[in-house]
Amino acid sequence: MSNCDSCSDGSCAVKQSDAANDEQAQIRRNLAIRLCGIRHKVLVMSGKGGVGKSTTAVNLAFALVEKGFKVGLLDIDLHGPSVPTMCGLAGQHPQASEEGIVPLEVSGLKLMSIGFLLASSGQATIMRGPMKHGAIQQLLADVDWGELDFLLVDCPPGTGDEPLSAVQLLGAGAAAVVVTTPQEVALIDVEKSLSFCNDLNLPVIGLIENMSGFICPHCNQLSDIFKSGGGDRLAEKTGVAMLGKIPLDPRLVVSGDDGKPHILSCPESTCSEAIRQTATAVVTFWDGE
């Protein structure tokens, strides 16, 4: 039944259901319009927390800006958004315009995070599945992203509600990069991320091995703190490309905490160079389109 003629007011369940369906259709339409302006959508995933996924997402986004692309970064780590702090925007809130919520901007990168919508950085996000889906839908559809070459989506670790909603909402044309560290305990979880992508028909651009060796600033010797070669072995086993290896560098911790992304504050470092190479590999994935 699509309408009810026997009630004169709008309070009956049928009319309310019709109104809800209209609202959902409108939201889906808004989302489709927003996504139309975005050429490539890249989910940044990890099997585990703490492997440097957000650090990688932020620096990869700036590396793409550096290459002259129009880039947005959406942080959907709803329970632990780090992008506001890492980009020096903690405590800031977006403005609204007739076109929608205006993303915040740093050095040409458009940014949106649930963190910008909370009253304070210490406020907990208390949400479960359907609410998370609605929140991610709004962060995509209600934000005035404009025309973008790349939208990077920083997902929380694992294969739960947020990446699943993101894949469903972004639809065809999205792809994933998976960030890992070289040791076995991290790699086991990466296989789960790859299986998630496979099951959802989400193309995998490749793996990024972060914390890949440490070059001592005093003696210049390389130490493999988290072992070595794990990412390469996994890439070989799964047939997924290895996009780049980012070494451990204490300056990444400082730049993340200070809100000055490493690639901007230390553009000449080995890490920045590795991130640029990774960005080139991401761009190459779509070559020929």
Nearer to ligand ADP, 85 or 137 (CB): 85
Q: Which of 177, 246, 263, 279 binds ligand ADP (CB under 6 A)?
A: 246
Q: Which of 85, 165, 210, 278 binds ligand ADP (CB under 6 A)?
A: 210
Of 9-17, 51-59, 66-74, 280-288, the segment contacting ligand ADP by CB under 6 A is 51-59
Nearer to ligand ADP, 64 or 246 (CB): 246
Using the rule CB under 6 A, is 148 a contact of ligand ADP? no
Q: How many residues belong to the site for ligand ADP (CB under 6 A)?
A: 18
Please report how close the Cβ of residue 267 comes to ligand ADP at its closest, in angstroms: 16
Distance (Å, rounded) from C-alpha 28 to C-alpha 251?
42
Using the rule CB under 6 A, is 115 a contact of ligand ADP? no
Using the rule CB under 6 A, is 158 a contact of ligand ADP? no
Of 49-57, 144-152, 162-170, 188-196, the segment contacting ligand ADP by CB under 6 A is 49-57
Using the rule CB under 6 A, is 211 a contact of ligand ADP? yes
Q: Extract the tokens encoding 227.
A: 């072992």
Q: CB 108: neighbour CB atoms within 10 A? A: 14
Using the rule CB under 6 A, is 49 a contact of ligand ADP? yes
Cα torsion 92, 163, 132, 81: sign: negative
Distance (Å, rounded) from C-alpha 104 to C-alpha 113?
9
Using the rule CB under 6 A, is 274 a contact of ligand ADP? no
Please report how close the Cβ of residue 204 comes to ligand ADP at its closest, in angstroms: 18
Distance (Å, rounded) from C-alpha 30 to C-alpha 11?
27
Q: What are the phi and psi torsion angles at 229 (to 5°)?
A: 85, -5
- Degrees to nearest 5, angle at CA 282 with 278 and 286: 160
Q: CB 46: neighbour CB atoms within 10 A? A: 28
Q: Which one-letter amino acid corresponds to residue 44?
A: V
Instruction: Give the CA radius of gyration of the chain.
Output: 20
Q: Extract the tokens encoding 206.
A: 């490749």
Binding residues for ligand ADP, per CB under 6 A? 46, 49-55, 82, 210-211, 246, 248-249, 252-253, 256, 271
